[in-house]
Structures are given as structure tokens and as C-alpha cells.
Amino acid sequence: MILFQGENPDEHASTAVRAALAIAEKTAVANAAIDDARKSHPPIQVNIGIGSGVSHVGSTRIKGAAGERWTSTPPPGR
């Protein structure tokens, strides 16, 4: 998760879109570079969602059979 902060919400949105487009471009470049190895490696896939507005975020510890990890997520319904 990436948070873009500042005084102007329109600036946050345009910065987030530019970052997403740059990530997509770099992913395409990486996939083209490994095209010869495609027989043993699937292409890199990146999914990007962009949200806008006020967000309340926090850290959550998840314990499971595979061990323990931390994740940062907004609370449900916010």
C-alpha cells in the first residue's frame, strides 16, 4: 500500500495515477527482458487499485499455520 499525502487531493490522485502507470511500464519492460525464459517462468503480473479520500489505516498481526505476519489495511467500511 502506498499513501500519497499533501494539501491538494487532486495532486494526490494524479501522483497515484502516475505511479501506477510507471509500475505498469516497468513491469512490461521486465517481462520483455525475461521473454526468453518464459518457458520456465510465467510473466510478472501486477494489479493496481487506486482509492481517494480520507483513510484510517493501521497494522494487523495475522497468525496462522504458515507463521505470523503483519499487514497494513484500512478498517472495514471506511
pLDDT digits (tens, 9 = 90+) for 8-43: 878 888 999 999 999 999 999 988 888 766 667 788
pLDDT at 46: 93
Q: Model-level pTM?
A: 0.65
pLDDT at 78: 47
What per-residue string of b and e applies to 2-33 under the rule 16 or more CB within 10 Å gives b?
A: eeeeeeeeeebeeebeeeeeeeeeeeeeeeee
Looking at the chain, the whole-number percentage of residues with pLDDT higher than 90 is 24
> Smallest Cα–Cα separation from 23: which of 2, 54, 52, 51?
2
The x, y and z cell numbers of residue 31, run together, are 517481462
As to burial, measured by CB atoms within 10 angstroms (0-12 exposed, 13-18 middle, 19+ buried), residue 67 is: exposed
Are 9 and 52 spatial neighbours (Cβ–Cβ below 8 Å)?
Answer: yes
